[in-house]
Amino acid sequence: MIIPVYSYSQYQKNRSFPSIVDYTKEREQVLKIIEEVRTRGDRALKNYTFQFDQADLDQLEVGTKEQKEAEDSVPEELIKAIKGAKENIIRFHSHQLEKNWWDNGPGWIAGQRYLPLESVGAYIPGGTAAYPSSVLMTVVPAKVAGVKNIYLCTPPGKDGKVNPLTLVAAAEAGASAVFKIGGAQAVAALAYGTESVPAVQKIVGPGNIYVTLAKKEVFGQVGIDMLAGPSEIVIVADGLADPVYLAADLLSQAEHDPLSRSILITPDQDLAQQVVNNLDEQIMTLPRKKIAEQSLQDQGAIIIVSGIDQAWPVVNEIAPEHLELHLENAWSYLDFINSAGAVFIGPYSPESLGDYWAGSNHVLPTAGAARYASALGVSDFIKRSHVLCYTSEALAQSAPQIAALARAEGLEAHARSVLLRRRKK
């Protein structure tokens, strides 16, 4: 057995079954990196790129020659897939756009304006891997929101080049520039700016623990989307679910990282055993077998509940990044869920659908953050400004109440600033 099985009572007694990791040493290193980038700019970025990525760079920004070579090297089939995914993301996120609104009465107008941020930095993991989907999920919603300047940072390979798929996705999504910078140093560069990298107003995108800790440290200097942890999935399934599908979807998260969480909740013990058997079988041919195996052993779980109704308190407590419902009449349970980053309903809506194609965003709250946070979207790239306009008559009518409230708080100047406007001219 490669995944532990808990009864509901065992889960209640042992809710902290995922490993808790102390990141004190990593934070100390991140603080050092941020300070180096703040004080030494591009020199620090190039030194860290050589130290961590073994790439010796003359310039940090991707040039037109490298961009053209990347576009020529990517198969047409993949370019077509990137274009199709982009269109789906545009369509989905366009529904999130807000309209300015106004309320008014005799002598007054109050309203709200929606304004896009001027500049955003998107962090995309890279190096030996390519994540074009993350490029689309971060850059495209910002473009839909109306952000003018979107700067992308991603670590290069040892050859000093960015993965061609990442560059093609960046061009297709409309990134303003791509910089060959990874890790905490990329976050620091975007937050404070260097000779080559413009400072931005907000940083978004997934990354490793160093990226996450760096985002936490620079928050306040810039905005951030969220503090992302390892990927996670919770599946709620009844006895009618297909154990082959369930095992495949649990593995789709487990292969990300040894700290990824894959959890199945079911009232059916026979189904649980079938899933265990399928995990044992499917993992044998998985290229990232060791990672997935460690993830399932250390962070995964199958929780046996007495009935489906007992599953929802567990789901809402975990507040998973991804939640799959493999249930008869699954739609009828949607109102029981109040904490989940994204919900996938039915056997033909696997989590991978949201990762790549459906148009919903795959930058989602993790580590329980879905209790108070949401998926990345257009609203993350927009500011709201309130607008007020009163006539002298309307203000005079409200002045006594305003002054009373101000004086109750001990703020006499606030009261006077209103009352003096009632003087006859």
pLDDT in tens, 387-424: 999 999 999 999 999 999 999 999 999 999 999 998 75
Tell me which of 3.40.50.1000, 3.40.50.720, 3.40.50.300, 3.40.50.1980 is the CATH number of domain 41-108+115-224. Answer: 3.40.50.1980
Give me the catalytic one of 36, 66, 255, 322: 322
Return the structure tokens found at 174: 């409309």
Provide CB contacts within 8 A for 238, sequence distance 6+. Answer: 266, 267, 268, 271, 308, 326, 327, 328
| Whether residue 217 lies in the annotated active site | no
Return the structure tokens found at 59: 């310039």
For the entire predicted model, the pTM comes to 0.93
Q: Name the nearest CA neighbour of 8 among 383, 301, 327.
A: 301
Q: Quick one: how far is CA 64 from the chain centroid?
A: 29
Are 45 and 59 a contacting pair, CB within 8 Å?
Answer: no
Residue count (the chain): 425
**Phi, psi for residue 310 in degrees, rounded to 5:** -75, -10
Q: Domain segments of the chain: what residues?
A: 5-21+229-372, 41-108+115-224, 391-422
Report in angstroms the alpha-carbon separations of 233 from 32, 73, 315, 392. Answer: 34, 34, 10, 58
Give me the catalytic one of 172, 321, 324, 351: 321
pLDDT tens digits in sequence order for the chain, 425 residues long: 689 999 999 988 876 555 567 889 999 999 999 999 999 999 999 999 999 999 999 999 999 999 999 999 999 999 999 999 999 999 999 999 999 999 999 999 999 999 999 999 999 998 667 899 999 999 999 999 999 999 999 999 999 999 999 999 999 999 999 999 999 999 999 999 999 999 999 999 999 899 999 999 999 999 999 998 888 999 999 999 999 999 999 999 999 989 899 999 999 999 999 999 999 999 999 999 999 999 999 999 999 999 999 999 999 999 999 999 999 999 999 999 999 999 999 999 999 999 999 999 999 999 889 999 999 999 999 999 999 999 999 999 999 999 999 999 999 999 999 999 987 54
Return the structure tokens found at 147: 């952000």
| Whether residue 93 lies in the annotated active site | no
Determine the Cα angle at 252 with ends 247 and 255, to 5°: 110
**Strands of the 322-326 sheet, one edge to the other:** 5-7, 301-304, 261-266, 232-237, 322-326, 342-345
**Phi, psi for residue 229 in degrees, rounded to 5:** -110, -170
Per the CATH hierarchy, to which homologous superfamily does domain 5-21+229-372 belong?
Nitrogenase molybdenum iron protein domain (3.40.50.1980)
